[in-house]
Structures are given as C-alpha cells and as structure tokens.
Structure 1
Amino acid sequence: MTDGTTRVFAWEEDARIEVRNLGREIVIEANAAGLRTLADHLLTLAQDGTPDGAHLHLEENNGLEEGSASLVLERCDDE
C-alpha cells in the first residue's frame, strides 16, 4: 500500500525469472510465465493513481532464481 492505494503484484504459477549483470549489460531471462509476471508487475506500477516512487524489489529467493542480481522496478514520473 502506498499513499492509501493498494497494489497487488501477482505471480503466475511456475514463473521463472533470472537477472544477470554482465557489466555493461543486464540480462533478464524468463520463461513465458515469468515474462507475463514481469509485464503484469510493470502494468501494476503504471496504473492511474500509483504514486511517483512506488517500487517493487525482486531478489534472489524473493521472486528471482538463485544467483540472480537484484532488480528494482520503480515508477518515476519526474522528467
């Protein structure tokens, strides 16, 4: 909940997401369920009424595969 607005981040069953930091590149590798899950997370952050700065942390064993780099999805409406 942010500023009184509840946002639900749902995970598809069998979603698999791995994030690798290759130095100058970040690779997000996911199966179809994982890609749909990421897309849904981004659409949730894009909903009207979601405040600037709302974010979601994805980490190893918290949504991401073991060995993944951490990933933060954040809404930023500032130019």
Structure 2
Amino acid sequence: MNTRVSAATDGITRVFTWEEGARIEVRDLGGEIVIEANAAGLKTLAGHLLTLAQDGTPDGAHLHLEENNGLEQGSVGLVLERCDDE
C-alpha cells in the first residue's frame, strides 16, 4: 500500500507518493547532511524529486518533510524545492 499526498501550486496539482515501508532519516552532522533511507525510502525520495521536476511545475513549488511527517523520529527537517532561477 502506498501513501499519496496531493498538493496544488498555482492551480497545478502534483501527487507525492510514499512507497510502502519507506524509511527516511535526515541527520545534520554539523558540516554535512546525511540522508539515510532503505530502498523504499530512496524510491520515495526519487519520486518526490521527479514530481517536482515535471513540466509545468512552477518555480518555488516545494515539499516539506519533517520528523513523523515523512521522516523518521529524530530527523531534521528537509525541504525539496524547485528553483529554476540561475
């Protein structure tokens, strides 16, 4: 069973899907960020990035992942954001 979340930005709806059993943890080691995930978690993150990369997705569209909201307990927050500005 997958979990799906729909988000609308500028009238465009995007669907973000979590693979069953996804485990994603984000740690701040003070000079680098570590994203640790099982296979389902890596597929989930890849899917989120591909969703943000879809044609027609507006600049600034983003997804917040936080402890107990997509990330494992103890994780620091992670924001995936599209930025087309150079």
| TM-score for the superposition, normalised by structure 2 | 0.91
Paired-residue identity, %: 86
Gaps of 5+ in 2: 1-7
State the partner residue of 1:54: 61
- 2-structure distance, mates of 1:74, 1:7: 13
Return the letter of the residue paired with 2:36.
E
Deviation at 1:67, TM superposition (A): 0.2
SS in 1 for 2:65: strand
Deviation at 1:78, TM superposition (A): 0.3
Please point out which of 36, 46, 62 is paired with 2:43. 36
State the partner residue of 2:11: 4
RMSD: 0.3
| TM-score for the superposition, normalised by structure 1 | 0.99
- 1-structure distance, mates of 2:71, 2:10: 27
- Displaced runs of 4 or more, over 4 A: none
Gaps of 5+ in 1: none
Between structures 1 and 2, the one with greater strand share: 2
